[in-house]
Chains A and B, each alone.
Chain A
Amino acid sequence: MKLTRGEFCQFNRTTRLQLLKEFGKNILEKKIRMRVISIYKISNFYVEVYENLDSHQLEKVEPLWNMRILDVYDTL
């Protein structure tokens, strides 16, 4: 399934995460303090996900516009 970034952004956070789990591929997952940060690849773009382990809330599910962040995560 091909989805553009714009189309992906039409959905709420819960749905975005669901779409990532059903159609995407998890390429990175790191626990940083009280957060789990994950990167997914879906269609031809990457998405950054923040889940707060304290509150069990999804804090961020946003496409990556600057790919250099991947290098940063690699170094952490």
Chain B
Amino acid sequence: MKSGNVINDTIDQIITDGVKRGILHLYTEDDTLYGNHIRLKGKEVVNFGSCSYLGLEFDPRLKEASKAAIDNYGTQFSESRAYVSIKLYRELEELFYQVFDAPCVITPTTTLGHLSNIPVLISSGDAVITDQQVHNSVNTAVKLLTADRIHIEVLRHNRMDLLEDRIKALRSKHEKIWYLADGIYSMFGDTAPIDELYELLDLYPQLYLYVDDAHGMSIHGKNGSGSVLNNRRFHPKMVLATSLAKAFATGGAVMVYPNNEMARRVRTCGGPLITSGPLQPAQLGAAVAAATIHLSEEIYNMQDELHERIKFTNLMLKKYHLPVIAENNAAIFFVGVHLPKVGYNMVRRMLEAGYYVNLGIFPAVPMKNTGIRFTITRLHTFLQIEQMIRTMAEELPKALKEEDVTYKDIYKAFKLPAPEEVLLDQQVGSVISQALTLKAFHFKSIQNIDKNDWDALFKNKGSFDWEGMKLLENSFQNNELPEDNWEFDYVIIKEIKTGSPVVASFFTTTLWKDDMLSPGEVSEAVELKRRIDPYYFTSKVTSTGSLLTEGEHLYIDKLSPFWKDAMHLLFDEANKLQEKYNTNGIVLRDFKNMDDEFESLLIDNGFFKMAMPDNNVVSNLGWKNAEEFHRSLSKCSKIHFRKNVKRFSDKYKIEIKKNPTETDISLWYSLYKNVKNNSLDLNTFSLPRKLFANIACNASWETLELKLKPENGPEKIVAVVFSHSEGENYIPMIIGLDYTYNPTYKVYRQALFQVSLRAGVLGKKKIFLGFSASIEKKKVGAVASPTYAFMQIKDNYNAQMLAMMTLAPATSNK
């Protein structure tokens, strides 16, 4: 499954969950609307979700102008603007020229404005740098640039120091470097550092600024021209896109340019301006009336009234000690609640108390940065604001308690300093939690866990039974390279009364390549960078299982009534490890056939789902020799077997190698490195040589050597497979190949066959053939199952960068 589909699955699940809980996809039930009350689910509530910050939607002048436009021009004028526009368009464009003191083009929506601007203004020799948090509508238009292989990269949010570095690095190769940002960011309400950006624009001739000021329009600046132009000139290297569907209150958008030529070019060539429908008379009429207000002194009174409410809101949020993410002068506020489950809980509570607020949730914000987003408009009374915030302050502790989340978790997730009283509450909380039904046991080594206890949970689930873990610990500790040193942590959650394990797993913490699951061509580009910096795009990750093992790493006794509580304790333990090792992510991996309940539990707790490569398993092994194996295959695979495998079988000598010499191990390691260097589809660090030496002398493993018997000359080892052979299943974990002989003697296919045959001879139940190469593995009877991981990441910058590289792999890593 493609990763995009999985992200959509996660979004679908989150939104559907919100719909089921009655907090998303709502409809108002009022026959008429006025002011800031709306009726939802039979209850009148105060609306704290409106972006109509000045409350102009109820202004009689706009309403009358809208009605008059319909009377004069009908309900629509259905012609492309490339041909004819109604007179009101010209009138409105002239008014906007006065508002911005710059040429403008009106578009039906801001998104269509970006789609008109970006592919026209940005040329193939240019580079694009997008702010990490720029609005999704801007990114939608940027994706179009990938067809022209334009260099695109993502910048950490508002980091002007890094922007300057990138300008210096890119300026010799690109005519223009476009930085794309928002004036006011739509979730947290923070602003772009426009003054610093203007300084950079003045300093670097190559830098151009493209800024979406949708949430700043009308509420700031001369004539309501927005937050970017608030006390600033229009920069000659800036393009401004702004919305008329927020404080301006009419729908539509306006694009503003530093010169007529740029405006003309977009007006002429912008795709949606040629092929999409225009703004309709009702909107145009209202927009002319709104623009007229913007050009009067009245706009400043309206701005003042809103700013006083913003100031009051900031004050109340402080007074009630709510975890606000950014104090700002926008009309958007974001109170962090950490996990989606708390967000759902709070929105429901607020609705019940008579306040509608927005849920700020993935994908608009990272999973663990879920929050309550609310907006203030000029229509709110101070009393409404105070009562809503007071209610939020009263309800939040209840929601946190119900969802087993603490204030400290919130402050940690948003990297905010926790107030002292929060730290004190946390200590009290830990004392209380000790009296619960379950207890988490944590071990640093498998040697501290009873062998029978561990194997009762994990034997035959993969290669991580007690002996398997011992081998891993011996191999991935005390090594020279950081990536070869893993932290091992074992967590068993037991019921206190019975002592029975309810949930158990082991975690390894080590360096991962961030492009591990990216397409091969992306990894190829990243590996070029790693020649200079071996740890470029790498992050420390705490994961269930390890980079070497596969299988059911998480034991859950779903018959226990406490399994969900136990999972919460496991999340707590994982969070502690993340803090202890300062890792960027937590990964719970190797899940197949999950039920909705389990998936919801993970998503509610801030994990997002991602696809791993398909996992290949051969089941029903009923063969003891090559003939029987052949009979077990499908018709197509039989043809393949005869043509590509059986034909060469007598050229090989197969040996289960015992007691290898150092020379043997060195040869095996070089064969393994051939495979490692040849495949970037699952891009990991190389395994240490020590592992191979340990496997060679471990009774739970066996080493299968394939030697080629040429017509003349000595036998040559062309393949080696290391398999975990203890227990019911056969698990080939590592393969080494000499690719020189692969085209002629189909070495890889022969190795797959020999492994399958060996597993059959040993009477194993299943063969776990691992990830990737599903087509080849299918030919020996493997069935590929979609496999998923769930991930929480603190910083998704690298992930965003890689996503952009996936769109344009050849250009984005120059």
Q: Which residues of A contact B (CB under 8 A)?
A: 1-3, 7, 10-12, 14-15, 18-19, 22-23
Contacts and interface: CB of A to CB of B under 8 A. Distances in A.
Contacts of A12: 304, 308
B304 A23 contact: no
Nearest to A2: B319
7 contacts: A1-B319, A11-B308, A12-B304, A14-B304, A15-B382, A19-B312, A22-B383
B761 interface: no
Interface string B381-403: 11100100010000000000000
Contacts of B308: 11-12, 14-15
Interface string B441-464: 000000000000000000000000
Given A7-B315, A11-B311, 20 more contacts: A1-B390, A2-B319, A3-B315, A10-B311, A10-B315, A11-B308, A11-B312, A12-B308, A14-B304, A14-B305, A14-B308, A15-B308, A15-B312, A15-B382, A19-B312, A22-B381, A22-B382, A22-B383, A23-B382, A23-B383
Interface string B303-315: 0110010011001
A9 to B, nearest CB: 12
Nearest to A16: B308
B386 A23 contact: yes
Interface in B282-317: 304-305, 308, 311-312, 315-316
- Binding site secondary structure of chain B: helix
A10 B316 CA distance: 13
A38 B383 CA distance: 21
Nearest to B386: A1
Number of chain B interface residues as a range? 10 to 19
B608 to A, nearest CB: 40
Interface string B687-704: 000000000000000000
A18 B308 CA distance: 11
Contacts of A14: 304-305, 308
Contacts of A2: 319
A19 B386 CA distance: 11
Nearest to B309: A15
A15 B319 CA distance: 18
A19 B381 CA distance: 9
A2 B390 CA distance: 11
Nearest to B390: A1
B308 to A, nearest CB: 4
Ranked nearest first, the 3 interchain pairs of A and B with the lowest CB-CB distance are A22-B383, A15-B308, A1-B386
Contacts of A15: 305, 308, 312, 382
Nearest to B304: A12
A7 to B, nearest CB: 6
Contacts of A7: 315
A3 B383 CA distance: 13
Contacts of A11: 308, 311-312
Contacts of A19: 312, 382
A23 B381 CA distance: 11
Contacts of B315: 3, 7, 10
Contacts of B305: 14-15
Contacts of B382: 15, 18-19, 22-23
A14 to B, nearest CB: 8
A76 B572 CA distance: 68
A51 B563 CA distance: 67
Contacts of A18: 381-382
B311 to A, nearest CB: 6
Q: Which of B305, B381, B382, B386 has the most CB of A within 10 A?
A: B382
A7 B314 CA distance: 11
A57 to B, nearest CB: 14
A7 B317 CA distance: 13
Contacts of B381: 18, 22
B381 to A, nearest CB: 6
A7 B390 CA distance: 17
B319 to A, nearest CB: 7
Q: Which of A7, A15, A23 has the most CB of B within 10 A?
A: A15
B303 to A, nearest CB: 12
Nearest to A15: B308
